[in-house]
Structure formats: C-alpha cells, structure tokens
Amino acid sequence: MKTTLAAAEIAIVVPVYNEEGNVLALAEEIHSAMEHLPRSYELVFVDDASTDGTWEQISTARGRDERVRGLRHERNAGQSAALWTGITNTQSTILVTLDGDRQNDPADLPRLLESLGKCDFVCGVRAKRHDNWLRRFSAKVARSARRSVLKVDFCDTGCAFRAFKRECLDGIFPFNGVHRFLPVLVHANGVMTTEIDINHRPRVAGQSKYGLWNRLWRGIYDLFAIAWYQKRLLPKNNVTELGPRRVAEPARERRTPEPARDSEMHLVQP
C-alpha cells in the first residue's frame, strides 16, 4: 500500500538558471533561517534547463536534507514559467518565493511569514539595493509607469522575495512575465497586501540574466497588456438566488354524496 506524505505547511520556491555557485549556500541559509520556526516546510528548486552544474548541486542539496526537492525543465522557459512550475507542483497553504542568486537574504524569512498574520500577501522591498545603475534606473522607470498606467503604486514589484497564502492565486493565470506583476494582479482581485523592507545583498557568484530589454522595455510592454486585461475584466457582482422551491399542495377532491340504497330509504307518510 502506497503511503501519501502530508504536504508541508510552507513551500519555498526558488527558480534557478545557471546558479551552480549559489544553490548549496542558499539551501543552508534557508534551513538556518527556518530552524527555529515550529512550522513544516519544503524547499523546491526549479532548474530552468541550466547548462552548468546547477542540477547536480540541487541533487547534492537533496542528499543533505530530504526537505529539498528538485524540479527540472526540459528546455529553458524563463523565470515566470519556473516559478509557476514550483507553485503548481506543491500543495502547501503558504508559499514563499525568492531568487536563486542569493541577493535575497533568507534571514528575512521569519519576518515575511510573521507579516502574513495581518494580511494575505507580503512583498519584500529592497530598500538599499546592491545593483548596478542600470537595474536601479530600470526599477524607477518601471515604478513610475505602473503608477501612471495601472493607478496603483507598489514600491518594488521586481523583488521576488514574497510570502503569500495559496488562495491569493485564485483567478490568476500564468503568462510570461507574471512574476513581475503578481502583487498588482492579486491586489486588483481584492487580496490584502503589504510591503516590508528586506535586506538586499551583492551577487557573489554567477551572472545576472537581465539586461535593458528583458528587464525594462519588456516590462513596460507587458504593462499595457495588464492595463487592457484589468479594463476588460468582468466586475465582481453580488448574486441573489431564489430560495428552495415551494411545492404546491394538491387540491382537495370534492366528493359527491352517494344516493341512498332502497333498503336505506325512509319514506315519510303524509
């Protein structure tokens, strides 16, 4: 008889592509951050068809701790696809996402999870970013564009470090770029969101996968698609339903008195 293991309460999803120098160290940092929290979790690395030794490093991390899982794409599909693969292949009620480049600091995990006690979706904000001028400039332009087009202002939707309840994804559809707009989309669906400052660190291994085109211009291009979608989105509406059907009572039959039989007739003599 096959035994089905209970799903962990928290699934920590980490999309990676050519991050062989970061996988093991990141796994250890996450385990250390979660060590004193009395909550079950699993750490899910999603390898987006890396061409280096990333998959082998994930296998090593799995050998060290059974809470590590490894999922691998047959072909490179992008960060959004890898993120969605991790989400759809887990069952935990709480989801955490972060980048695999170790610029997000796992030490902030307890604070993100604690904030879920007051809301449904927590976004990290890289208050002091350790990025080059191009990435910081791109982030400022993107924020200004979001505020202008979508009429909503999130400080840092480009930050992948988030914690949220699975039901926040109800009504969200996957597309290439969903990882950038997830806070905006869930907020538009009425989900209670908040932002907290988190630590941001310099990259110590590997190379960034983003440039001017795939970070700024593609994000702005997607922005107008999101604006169109939200404008065409069917509005929520309250619905009233009739109560239980009332069954009509059957009509009572009128009975005609039967004529008395001869033996029962009583003649009245004058």
**Does 96 fall in a domain?**
yes
**Does 135 fall in a domain?**
yes
**Does 139 fall in a domain?**
yes
Q: 178-188 vs 79-88: helix axis angle to the nearest 10?
A: 60
8 Å CB contact between 39 and 10 = yes
What is the tally of structural domains in the chain?
Answer: 1
Maximum Cα interatomic distance, the chain, rounded to a whole number of Å: 130
C-alpha 22/C-alpha 17 separation (Å) is: 10
C-alpha 266/C-alpha 161 separation (Å) is: 103
Q: Which domain holds residue 141?
A: 10-232
From residue 54, alpha-carbon distances to 10, 86, 133 in Å are 23, 16, 28
Predicted confidence band at 267 (pLDDT cuts at 50, 70, 90)? Answer: very low
Residue spans of alpha helices (H) in the chain: 23-34, 54-64, 79-88, 109-115, 133-150, 178-188, 212, 218-232
8 Å CB contact between 44 and 12 = yes
> Could you tell me which residue, 110 or 263, shows the higher pLDDT?
110
C-alpha 191/C-alpha 155 separation (Å) is: 17
**Does 161 fall in a domain?**
yes
DSSP 90-117: ---SEEEE--SSS-B-GGGHHHHHHHTT
Here the tokens at position 110 are 């307890």
C-alpha 70/C-alpha 80 separation (Å) is: 17
For 141-182, the pLDDT digits (tens) are: 665 666 665 666 666 777 899 999 999 999 898 988 888 889
pLDDT computed for residue 270 by the predictor: 45
For 193-209, the pLDDT digits (tens) are: 999 999 988 888 867 65
> Could you tell me which residue, 235 or 194, shows the higher pLDDT?
194
**Does 188 fall in a domain?**
yes
**Does 247 fall in a domain?**
no
**Does 261 fall in a domain?**
no
> Could you tell me which residue, 268 or 201, shows the higher pLDDT?
201
Q: What spatial distance separates the first Cα and last Cα of the chain, rounded to whole Å?
A: 99
CATH number at residue 168: 3.90.550.10
- Tell whether the torsion through CA atoms of 196, 200, 205 and 206 is positive or negative: positive
pLDDT computed for residue 216 by the predictor: 56
User: 46 by DSSP, 3-state: which?
Assistant: strand
**Does 250 fall in a domain?**
no
pTM for this predicted structure: 0.77
